[in-house]
Chain A
């Protein structure tokens, strides 16, 4: 494979494009709403109507407005002719049924389209950015040619031809990209550390064990544009001197697993992965490892243990993976979205990337907007965008009758930000100051019907259920925190229980072994900080006995 071959594939793919393209979302969200049948119907109808010369049907990835799925987009030339990209009209159809699909195709022959039209001019679409998701909903995730036609793998070629590994690292450092998995460690610094650490072998690992409730950014990227991640990993491999990569993807994402398998096989067949990539001395292979359903395996040391076939439990750091990772070798671990940024950064330049975002938080970030908000789905915005813009403008605010009270960011490791603080720009440091984190990008909108103690208990239950059990404060502490929250919620607690809750939060936060335990108290602490009155409203005076009454006697016991 040479650059000319790559450009050939791209050119052929572009030539083969028909004037009209129907793009049907086949990411997991729309598929679960029935887009598989819609796709079949679209293809069948195009064939039956004899439109196969004029209308193409593409199985693409996520089109972002998940709540309105199945989503279908139709691209048509404005008039006759028109160049590449110019003069295209785009139409969005939402909640498309198989019957609607027939009518969409019939529309090309002057029929009436019965499908619900969406509004691509709405703020939901207009206010979003497209860097990580630039190909999402455009390329076909199961056809590498479409990724190549979108300039895919050209960054890898450029890097192998024109950059030394150190220059790649330098470029990443200058871009200001920070880890998108939640810890926000500067990516360039991490790459530089792994690059300089000695080791007879090095590894590149992609963390795709996305497990926060309400988070599906990584899944969307993997299902919509898997090659972007492979290319990013290969570039990382070149930069740090690794020739083996692993993608650790959670088993609950079968479609992502399948598309990654396909993508890896296709890239291997074209010589874009494997030996002597682009006839350079650089070899790089990627293997998949599927998780077995443990949230803690998203923690890097547990993840590596799992890759090595051991029980997925964390180990204390230091030593860090950059020094002592897989099989004791220097290992680079980044999140899906971090790698997904890499090809674009190298194509458009570090300066371009650094021009997006804020001083300390560069680039864009994909968020999953869910909960009590009109538009739920995938949202990509420049870092520094105020919460209000995301929740109220892009998200469309509260559904009828509700008042938005807070937004929960960062999943079980994050916190709740009250509506009064929605002018806060969404960036790493501002959210940390509020006792939350940006995390991997989950955003759950809460309204006045959500009791914040209940919210805190929900996340505590999650941490309790997902605790690996290795360290005592997380294993036993989350159980006690959950009991305390339950007692408060059920109106059996007094002021001393809240004191104990806070004291135990402090212990669990500071003594747990890994991030899961250390962050488990965050949702509780942040709701105590901003919504203490909701806790206090549930407290009862008196001794424990007086609060208990006598509910302890077994109801079925004879009287």
Chain B
């Protein structure tokens, strides 16, 4: 395995060739914020929160996708990036119906936390207030599309960890929507194994456990990590 050396935020960092900037940064103790990325799932590159500046490159690159290169100079926390990140989070809040005060995930939500990270004290954009559905047909779980940020974590967890591929994306643009099977009610899905990995992966209160009340949801992300470690590193310790 060859090693490359690069600088991230001025800090000299060694990384394995083929690693992403995100992995290299996290191993060096530099936290790049992400929303759609989950360790162990394929990178998606859609949320654009983890965009970083690379010296000599005119384009910002998603740290979750971009591979490290020898001598690369990466900036992860410039004023420009902070501004972009805040705008993107504001766009997300304006696009869906995210009402933290009455959400099962209040206090345990990555979108809510991201708003804090980027310092969003208010949203400068018009709230769209789209009309979206809630599907409660599954006996154990529910999905509230009002709270969905279309990060596709559920799709990837279901496909890559469970192998069921119950979830997928339908529609396009602002009409995009995650669906189960061929847009059938979740409870009628022939492929869903009710394993709950989509729930573990969901960053917001969109996919929730029935019976959870406001501010009660605890997405057991650790279980997802355990599965990934078991699969990739053959580590079975809980």
Binding site for B on A (CB under 8 A): 294, 296, 311, 315-316, 318, 464-473, 475-480, 483, 500, 503-504, 507, 510-513
Query: Is B95 a contact partner of A476 (Cβ separation < 8 A)?
Result: yes
- Let me know if B226 is at the binding interface, CB within 8 A: no
Cα–Cα distance between A160 and B85 once the two chains are bound (Å): 53
For B47, the chain A residues whose CB sits under 8 A away are 471-472
Stretch at the interface among B1-9, B120-128, B194-202: B120-128
For B45, the chain A residues whose CB sits under 8 A away are 315-316, 470-471, 513
- Let me know if B91 is at the binding interface, CB within 8 A: yes
- Let me know if B109 is at the binding interface, CB within 8 A: no
Query: Is B173 a contact partner of A465 (Cβ separation < 8 A)?
Result: yes
* Chain A residue with the shortest CB-CB distance to B45: A316
* Chain B residue with the shortest CB-CB distance to A517: B48
Query: Is B172 a contact partner of A480 (Cβ separation < 8 A)?
Result: no
For B229, the chain A residues whose CB sits under 8 A away are none
Query: Is A480 a contact partner of B173 (Cβ separation < 8 A)?
Result: no
Query: Is A479 a contact partner of B95 (Cβ separation < 8 A)?
Result: yes
Query: Is B169 a contact partner of A311 (Cβ separation < 8 A)?
Result: yes
Query: Is A473 a contact partner of B62 (Cβ separation < 8 A)?
Result: no
* Chain A residue with the shortest CB-CB distance to B171: A469
Cα–Cα distance between A480 and B149 once the two chains are bound (Å): 16
* Chain B residue with the shortest CB-CB distance to A511: B48
User: Which of B51, B67, B168, B176 lies in contact with A511, CB distance below 8 A?
Assistant: B51
For the complex with contacts A473-B87, A510-B59, A511-B88, 19 further pairs of A-B residues with Cβ separation under 8 Å are A311-B168, A316-B45, A316-B66, A467-B173, A469-B169, A469-B171, A469-B172, A469-B175, A470-B44, A470-B45, A471-B46, A472-B88, A472-B92, A479-B95, A483-B126, A503-B87, A507-B88, A510-B84, A513-B45
For A476, the chain B residues whose CB sits under 8 A away are 91-92, 94-95, 174
For B67, the chain A residues whose CB sits under 8 A away are 318
Cα–Cα distance between A55 and B235 once the two chains are bound (Å): 83
Cα–Cα distance between A465 and B47 once the two chains are bound (Å): 19
Query: Is A316 a contact partner of B65 (Cβ separation < 8 A)?
Result: yes
Cα–Cα distance between A311 and B171 once the two chains are bound (Å): 10
- Let me know if B150 is at the binding interface, CB within 8 A: yes
User: Which of B60, B125, B149 lies in contact with A510, CB distance below 8 A?
Assistant: B60
- Which residues between 58 and 116 of chain B lie within 8 Å of chain A, taking CB atoms? 59-62, 65-67, 83-84, 87-88, 91-92, 94-95
Of A311, A467, A478, A479, chain B has the most CB atoms within 10 Å of the CB of: A479
For B126, the chain A residues whose CB sits under 8 A away are 480, 483
Query: Is A475 a contact partner of B65 (Cβ separation < 8 A)?
Result: no
Cα–Cα distance between A318 and B21 once the two chains are bound (Å): 13
User: Which of A294, A316, A473 lies in contact with B172, CB distance below 8 A?
Assistant: A294
Closest A-B pairs by Cβ, 3 of them: A469-B176, A476-B91, A467-B173
Cα–Cα distance between A503 and B67 once the two chains are bound (Å): 29
- Return A436 CB to nearest CB of chain B, in Å: 18
- Return A106 CB to nearest CB of chain B, in Å: 54
- Which residues between 207 and 238 of chain B lie within 8 Å of chain A, taking CB atoms? none
Binding site for A on B (CB under 8 A): 44-48, 51, 59-62, 65-67, 83-84, 87-88, 91-92, 94-95, 124-126, 128, 149-150, 168-169, 171-176
- Return B20 CB to nearest CB of chain A, in Å: 11
Query: Is A480 a contact partner of B125 (Cβ separation < 8 A)?
Result: yes
* Chain A residue with the shortest CB-CB distance to B150: A469
Cα–Cα distance between A296 and B176 once the two chains are bound (Å): 14
Query: Is B46 a contact partner of A472 (Cβ separation < 8 A)?
Result: yes
For A513, the chain B residues whose CB sits under 8 A away are 45-46, 48, 62
Cα–Cα distance between A101 and B226 once the two chains are bound (Å): 77
User: Which of B124, B128, B176 lies in contact with A500, CB distance below 8 A?
Assistant: B124
A507/B61 contact (C-beta < 8 A), A294-B172, A473-B48 known: no
A316/B61 contact (C-beta < 8 A), A472-B48, A475-B95 known: yes
For B174, the chain A residues whose CB sits under 8 A away are 464, 467, 469, 475-476, 479
- Return B95 CB to nearest CB of chain A, in Å: 4
User: Which of B65, B94, B173 lies in contact with A466, CB distance below 8 A?
Assistant: B173
A504/B87 contact (C-beta < 8 A), A465-B173, A476-B95 known: yes
Query: Is B95 a contact partner of A316 (Cβ separation < 8 A)?
Result: no
Q: Pick 12 A–B contacts, CB within 8 A, sort by A.
A: A294-B172, A315-B45, A316-B61, A467-B172, A468-B172, A469-B172, A469-B174, A475-B176, A480-B91, A511-B48, A511-B60, A512-B48
* Chain A residue with the shortest CB-CB distance to B67: A318
For A296, the chain B residues whose CB sits under 8 A away are 172
Cα–Cα distance between A479 and B124 once the two chains are bound (Å): 14
Query: Is B48 a contact partner of A480 (Cβ separation < 8 A)?
Result: no
For B128, the chain A residues whose CB sits under 8 A away are 479
Query: Is A511 a contact partner of B84 (Cβ separation < 8 A)?
Result: yes
For B176, the chain A residues whose CB sits under 8 A away are 468-469, 475
Cα–Cα distance between A467 and B62 once the two chains are bound (Å): 19
- Return A402 CB to nearest CB of chain B, in Å: 34
Cα–Cα distance between A504 and B94 once the two chains are bound (Å): 14
Of A311, A470, A504, chain B has the most CB atoms within 10 Å of the CB of: A470
Cα–Cα distance between A237 and B8 once the two chains are bound (Å): 42
Cα–Cα distance between A473 and B174 once the two chains are bound (Å): 11
For A466, the chain B residues whose CB sits under 8 A away are 172-173
- Return A481 CB to nearest CB of chain B, in Å: 10
For A483, the chain B residues whose CB sits under 8 A away are 126
Cα–Cα distance between A477 and B46 once the two chains are bound (Å): 13
Query: Is B91 a contact partner of A472 (Cβ separation < 8 A)?
Result: yes
- Return A86 CB to nearest CB of chain B, in Å: 54
- Return B202 CB to nearest CB of chain A, in Å: 17
User: Which of B48, B66, B87, B173 lies in contact with A468, CB distance below 8 A?
Assistant: B173
For B66, the chain A residues whose CB sits under 8 A away are 316, 318
- Return B102 CB to nearest CB of chain A, in Å: 22
Of B92, B126, B173, chain A has the most CB atoms within 10 Å of the CB of: B173
* Chain B residue with the shortest CB-CB distance to A507: B87
For A503, the chain B residues whose CB sits under 8 A away are 87
- Return A553 CB to nearest CB of chain B, in Å: 17
For A477, the chain B residues whose CB sits under 8 A away are 91
* Chain A residue with the shortest CB-CB distance to B93: A476
Query: Is A473 a contact partner of B91 (Cβ separation < 8 A)?
Result: yes
For B84, the chain A residues whose CB sits under 8 A away are 507, 510-511
For B83, the chain A residues whose CB sits under 8 A away are 507
* Chain B residue with the shortest CB-CB distance to A469: B176
* Chain A residue with the shortest CB-CB distance to B62: A316
Cα–Cα distance between A433 and B150 once the two chains are bound (Å): 36
For A510, the chain B residues whose CB sits under 8 A away are 59-60, 84
Cα–Cα distance between A268 and B155 once the two chains are bound (Å): 42
Cα–Cα distance between A507 and B124 once the two chains are bound (Å): 14
